[in-house]
Structure 1
């Protein structure tokens, strides 16, 4: 994404897992998020992407979740906000702008 305009996103989700279908949705949502960003907590991902990537991310998530039982929140952060995160505890495992391998 060198030279391209990117945005910082924080993606969080809560997927109902009391049924096998819910457990499958949870795994699908996690896999989608892993394709776009870095997991920083169990259901929280930091994503640096272009507008077109965000559109695809949203479409993929909408196709998987149950809108009555599940919740996905996508926060668009100010430019480079992920570079200025106050973090307590276990050190950050990855740089959100570092190399991303799918």
Structure 2
């Protein structure tokens, strides 16, 4: 299932900047960055729950926020991209 993950982490103090780096790194390990704090992740449900649990352990819910948008398996018809950054196919071949 395709999930869109967005976050807003308070960076007022050093702990916030550390949380921001950890959230970004965790998202990069499981998805593709499409905006500064927005990732698309094509995961099975079990992997998604593990990622969500890791992110919830990192953030401070009193200062930060996470949003998960469940696009499901038919996500291709729910995304329209316009603009400069080229789109990608998460189900296609990935070159590392």
Q: TM-score, normalised by structure 2?
A: 0.89
Residue 100 to residue 20, structure 1, CA distance change in 2 (3 Å): farther
Residue 22 to residue 59, structure 1, CA distance change in 2 (3 Å): same
- Following superposition, the deviation at residue 80 of structure 1 comes to 2.6
Partner-residue secondary structure (3-state), 1:34: helix
Partner-residue secondary structure (3-state), 1:27: helix
**CA contact 2:4–2:38 (8 Å) conserved in 1:** yes
Paired residues, number: 95
Q: Within 2, Cα distance between the matches of 1:47 and 1:95?
A: 11
Q: What residue number does 1:97 align with?
A: 91
Unpaired segments ≥5 residues, structure 1? 1-6
Q: What residue number does 2:55 align with?
A: 61
Q: Within 2, Cα distance between the matches of 1:52 and 1:8?
A: 13
Q: Within 1, Cα distance between the matches of 2:30 and 2:8?
A: 18
Partner-residue secondary structure (3-state), 1:97: coil
Partner-residue secondary structure (3-state), 1:90: coil
Unpaired segments ≥5 residues, structure 2? none
Residue 33 to residue 58, structure 1, CA distance change in 2 (3 Å): same
What is the alpha-carbon root mean square deviation over aligned residues? 1.7
Which structure 2 residues correspond to residues 63-78 of structure 1 after superposition, within 5 A? 63-78=57-72
